[in-house]
């Protein structure tokens, strides 16, 4: 009797191809472009296979989200455990492909209750991981977490990244360079210059120099011994 394994492998391959196609369509044309016909055409298969493997459209969209969410959890875990977690986390949330996909899911969640429920459940888990990881990082650097709560720092970093991307989508970039410079200056005060970088993404362009201005309250932490510094005070 022939083994069922080849059929299982073919099914996995077909499902992956359809999920890849749906994700590409969301990034290029928005979530409204994810139809059985277009997903099938993008994957180069019969559109009927979309319903065969996933059923209703919402199931396909939830599966695309879950796969993306799993990747993000893995990448965030790696970032927080890296040699320079603040730099790694900042680069991760600025990944243009990932942020653009998240924005599509946020927009989709306003119209699909099933997707909205998935977004909420994942976001709670994801954010708690961020808060816990950032709390440890800031404490190791001697930052006053009463003055600079990890929750607020994380939301400020994430919020800046999302806002800049939103403006980029319609060609507005006034003040973007200066804003990124401020965030990276504060990160540099804690972790120094970026030493080991991840693989480049579409978000990466030519790296521009950032001014060595004074940190908040006028203290030049770069001139103080590392173990005595209290950045952001």
The helix/strand/coil state of 143 is coil
Q: What is the pLDDT at residue 198? A: 53
Q: How far apart are CA 217 and CA 231, in angstroms?
A: 10
Q: Where are the domains of the chain?
A: 1-55, 57-228
Question: How far is Cα of residue 160 from the mean position of the Cα atoms in its chain?
Answer: 13
For residue 187, what are its two tokens? Answer: 């990160």
Q: How far apart are CA 19 and CA 71, in angstroms?
A: 14
Cβ 73 vs Cβ 128: under 8 Å? no
How many of the other CB atoms lie within 10 Å of CB of 114?
Answer: 15
Q: Would you write out the chain's pLDDT as a tens digit for each of its 233 residues?
A: 444 444 777 788 899 999 999 999 999 999 999 999 999 999 999 999 999 999 999 999 999 999 999 999 999 999 999 999 999 999 999 987 777 888 899 889 888 888 899 989 998 999 999 999 999 999 999 999 999 999 999 999 999 998 998 898 889 999 999 999 999 999 999 999 999 665 544 344 333 333 333 333 333 333 333 333 343 43
The answer to whether domain 1-55 has CATH 3.30.70.1710 is no
Q: What is the pLDDT at residue 11? A: 81
Q: What is the pLDDT at residue 201? A: 43
């Amino acid at each position: 009797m022939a083994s069922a394994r080849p059929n299982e492998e073919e099914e996995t391959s077909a499902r992956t191809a359809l999920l890849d196609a749906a994700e590409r369509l969301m990034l290029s044309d928005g979530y409204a472009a994810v139809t059985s016909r277009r997903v099938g055409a993008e994957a180069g298969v019969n559109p009927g296979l979309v319903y065969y493997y996933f059923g209703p459209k919402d199931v396909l969209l939830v599966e695309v989200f879950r796969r993306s969410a799993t990747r993000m959890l893995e990448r965030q875990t790696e970032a927080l455990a890296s040699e320079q977690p603040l730099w790694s986390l900042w680069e991760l949330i600025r990944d243009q492909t990932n942020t653009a996909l998240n924005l599509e899911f946020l927009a989709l969640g306003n119209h699909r209750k099933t997707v909205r429920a998935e977004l909420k459940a994942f976001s709670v888990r994801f954010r708690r991981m961020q808060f816990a990881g950032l709390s440890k990082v800031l404490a190791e650097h001697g930052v006053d977490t009463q003055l600079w709560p990890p929750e607020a720092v994380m939301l400020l970093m994430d919020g800046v990244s999302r806002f800049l991307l939103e403006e980029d989508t319609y060609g507005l970039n006034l003040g973007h360079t200066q804003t990124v410079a401020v965030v990276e200056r504060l990160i540099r005060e804690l972790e120094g210059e970026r030493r080991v970088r991840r693989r480049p993404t579409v978000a990466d362009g030519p790296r521009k120099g950032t001014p060595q201005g004074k940190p908040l309250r006028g203290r030049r932490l770069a001139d103080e011994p590392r173990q005595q510094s209290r950045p952001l005070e």
